[in-house]
Chains A and B, each alone.
Chain A
């Protein structure tokens, strides 16, 4: 079963709007929470990541919000652009090499 539950499966946002993707987990041993971005025909690439001792991390238009008590984290994309259209995966790491991925969210930003 999915150890990291991601929603929604797909998301359509107007250009300039805010895109929000949510993830939830159960395993409190997870210690690193990355988001990956995947364009068609490409492999996923790291977008932004957070550790559980921080509640928020911002890089440009991308922000991760992390709620340790609720065991949830989310990706916010401000001022969404058509070039942001891609599939986004949240993930969580336990142990040195054990990365668990969410099911993915296909984001479409309409011009």
Chain B
């Protein structure tokens, strides 16, 4: 079974803090993704990576950056957290362009 794990299930941070969300997959997948999930908006792509050190912006990259130093690990960074970044963050991985395997999500609250 593919396993995608995320470092925290719940996180509370203060405005202006730097926040790191970690994601690890154990199936040697080339592609990894970060989404945010908000009620009524579905899943919106923040960034994806198709190889180590490679990244592409998604629909809503502003205020976020990513890092992929190893194939199995994809990190999402909020440089200076703001209250409008309070959301559920989902990481996914994919061996190709079809099925994506999701982690359980990190619910981030920024106060």
List A residues at the B interface (Cβ < 8 Å): 2, 4, 6, 9, 32, 34, 36, 41-46, 49, 89, 93, 95-99, 101-104
In the complex, A102→B44 CA distance in Å?
Answer: 9
Q: Which of A42, A99, A104 lies in contact with B104, CB distance below 8 A?
A: A42
In the complex, A102→B40 CA distance in Å?
Answer: 9
Interface string of B63-102 (1 = CB under 8 A from A): 0000000000000000000000000001010101111111
Q: Which of B35, B39, B45, B102 lies in contact with A45, CB distance below 8 A?
A: B102
Q: Which residues of A contact B100 (CB under 8 A)?
A: 46, 99
Interface string of B40-55 (1 = CB under 8 A from A): 1111110010100000
- Closest A residue to B35 by beta carbon equals A101
List B residues at the A interface (Cβ < 8 Å): 4, 31, 33, 35, 39-45, 48, 50, 56, 90, 92, 94, 96-105
> Contacts A9-B40, A103-B41: A43 and B92 contacting too (C-beta < 8 A)?
yes
Of the listed residues A34, A102, A104, the one surrounded by the most CB atoms of chain B closer than 10 A to its CB is A104
- B contacts with A: majority SS: strand
Of the listed residues B4, B39, B50, B98, the one surrounded by the most CB atoms of chain A closer than 10 A to its CB is B98
Q: Which residues of A contact B101 (CB under 8 A)?
A: 45
Q: Report yes or no: A6 in contact with B99, Cβ–Cβ below 8 A.
A: no
Q: Report yes or no: A97 in contact with B48, Cβ–Cβ below 8 A.
A: yes
Q: Report yes or no: B104 in contact with A49, Cβ–Cβ below 8 A.
A: no
Q: Which residues of A contact B45 (CB under 8 A)?
A: 98-99
Q: Report yes or no: A97 in contact with B104, Cβ–Cβ below 8 A.
A: no
Q: Which residues of B contact A2 (CB under 8 A)?
A: 41-42
- Closest A residue to B41 by beta carbon equals A103
Q: Which residues of A contact B92 (CB under 8 A)?
A: 43
Q: Which of A6, A41, A45, A96 lies in contact with B97, CB distance below 8 A?
A: A96
